Amino acid sequence: NAGVTQTPKFRVLKTGQSMTLLCAQDMNHEYMYWYRQDPGMGLRLIHYSVGEGTTAKGEVPDGYNVSRLKKQNFLLGLESAAPSQTSVYFCASSGSLAYGEQFFGPGTRLTVL
Amino acid sequence: AQSVTQPDIHITVSEGASLELRCNYSYGATPYLFWYVQSPGQGLQLLLKYFSGDTLVQGIKGFEAEFKRSQSSFNLRKPSVHWSDAAEYFCAVGAITSGTYKYIFGTGTRLKVLA
């Protein structure tokens, strides 16, 4: 099993450009999450999904959109990238919501110039 | 509001020494508590978790943590640190309150191990 995979691993954008980050999991998990990690701030939840076709806002949702068209995939979109979105993005999945272990992908390092 | 505090940003210990990483949480009820480890350039990996029952929980890689309700703490410990334990450690709290889901990470403690 690959676990949780993320595409791409690195990306550089110019301000105003758009992009989509792809997360895939092969553990048949219902719940999936997108986080951003910034120095000194830990991980902050951007959006999450409790099942196929559902999404919900997390702590820092502004500037991001998500979609969960298939159970195994969770997409994070930036419609108009800003330098403040320079970060490392992690996707995770779990079999339970609040009390489940979250399985993390390797991360995507995004730089917005 | 729920919160997780890891008061130590950096900790340095010698190999073979004992380790304790602190975590304090703020939550109205007993939350679900977790410790994760992140090696450089990697995602997070679960070390251990506490839901209920025995307040001393054992995890992988020789780590343990103790839940102390009176102190709102969930400190991570290891009796003898190995050089491979150098990493960043995150405490996390999971809760569902009034139908709202929260999974909050602390800001992390970076562990350095001296040979």
Q: What is the DSSP string of B2-37?
A: -EEE---SEEEEETTS-EEE--EEE-SS--EEEEEE
Q: Which tens digit of pLDDT belongs to each residue from B78-100?
A: 999 999 999 999 999 888 777 77
DSSP state for residue B71 in the 8-state scheme: G
pLDDT at A97: 78
Alpha carbons A4 and A33: distance in angstroms, whole number: 11
pLDDT at B24: 96
CB contact under 8 A, B108 and A42: yes
Chain A segment 1-40 residues within 8 A of B by beta carbon are 4, 33, 35, 40
Q: How close B47 gets to chain A, by Cα (Å)? A: 10
Alpha carbons A22 and A9: distance in angstroms, whole number: 10
pLDDT at B81: 97
pLDDT at A99: 75
The reply to whether A106 touches chain B by the CB within 8 Å rule is yes
Task: Pick out chain A residues at pLDDT < 50.
Answer: none
The C-alpha angle A71, A105, A7, rounded to 5 degrees, equals 75
Neighbouring CB atoms inside 10 A of B67's CB total 22
How many Å is the maximal CA-CA distance in chain A?
38
Q: How far is CA A43 from CA A48, A58, A94, B114, in A?
A: 13, 11, 16, 27
Please list every residue in chain B whose beta carbon sits closer than 8 Å to the beta carbon of residue A21: none
Alpha carbons A90 and B44: distance in angstroms, whole number: 9
The pLDDT-based confidence of B44 (bands split at 50, 70, 90) is very high
* B103 or A62, greater pLDDT: A62
* A59 or B20, greater pLDDT: B20
Mean pLDDT confidence for B31-56:
91
Answer yes or no: are the C-beta atoms of A42 and B108 closer than 8 Å.
yes
